[in-house]
Chain A
Amino acid sequence: MSTNQRTTANRRLNRLLAGHTWVVYAFFYLPILVLIIFSFNESRLFGFQNWEGLSLKWYRQMFANDNLMQALRISLVVAVGSTIVSTVLGTAAALALERYRRWLGKRAFDALLYLPVIIPDVTMAAMLLVFFTSLGQQLSTVTIALSHIAFNISFVSIVVRARLANLDPALEEAAADLYASRWHAFRRVTLPLIMPGVLGGALLALTLSLDDVVITQFVKGPDTLPTFVFGLIKRSVTPEINAVSSLMLAASGVLVLGSLALQRRQ
């Protein structure tokens, strides 16, 4: 092919790809649009034939709904708590696997870390329920958090390991020469280098915890937001859920765009 032909072919390909990409984005955001629109619907029922005009009443009702607010609070508490623990544990695990060549039981641990990822949600949910109840453990916020940590350690470790594997070992060797203590070398060099991975892992853990419905449904004491919605679906769905979701969307949008802006300044 001549260069010209290749360029036009490239450009056509580019446009096709771009078009495809925008269609996919539309696919992603269409339901989001719907849920935001219906958070302003006067009628309680979903469906375009049930549009009754704009109203803020669901937002007002949402704040007044104690059960909803409590579920939201519990969701956030569990998410933040389990994310912190699983990020620390997951990062440590990743370091142990990538930076230390041999230690007792390393291969078993490597395999063990993948299990929570490959196990189906439902199975993990059932076995955790059985586990907690056989031990006579009261189901509560704690059991939810413990369950979330159980699967999040693996996800965090995968992300951090990927990051670690890509790092130039020369940098860390240099740090080891420079700094007297390993801890210093870690804190000043390795940690900043893997920080994008750690943050990525933490973000993933946060998302997985906030959105989890199957496992939480089985081991919950009080409701988290997803299980509350699940239960609400069974009674009468009110657009209060849409209101909550829209606000969460706005909040996360602000958070994320904010952190991007910060990163750019770095």
Chain B
Amino acid sequence: MSATDVPRSEESDLVSRLRLGDADAANEFFDRYAARIRRFIAQSLGAEKSEADDLLQETFIALAEALPFFRGDSSLFTFACAIAHRKVLSFIRTNARRARLLRDAAISESEQRRDVGSHRDFNSALMQLSPDYREALVLKYVEEISVAEIARVLALSEHAVESRLARARKLLRKHLGESQ
């Protein structure tokens, strides 16, 4: 399911109920988006570790705090991803060395786990990209959100997102070529 599948009117109703602290709305939001936000965080970090769960928790708490200021300019998923993106950036800045080790571990882990002939090359090439590039690719091709929405998540102009995507694709091709 892509982020655009949920009608805006339905989503604004959900936001209103979340702002009132409605338990059903919290459950609905959680069931609808939590797994996707977690996947976005894990892909951005490049590791399926406890760090992703920690950052998911931080994201949800920050989201609860930020909801009163949500203007509805973007989808709720985009808003949540923007918060998650900042949490990931902050984590990477403060744990730069650790993040590098995690990334390396993720590469070797994915190489070991994936079946022969499946997406091993692709995954390891993806993990060699910087988080900025990986995030842009994941949002565009996995979460299928528009360039305008990606621009909101990454706090960039649409033109900058297009450039980043182009560079990410070029690098991905390069890494895929090297892994052959």
Indicate, yes or no, whether A interacts with B: no
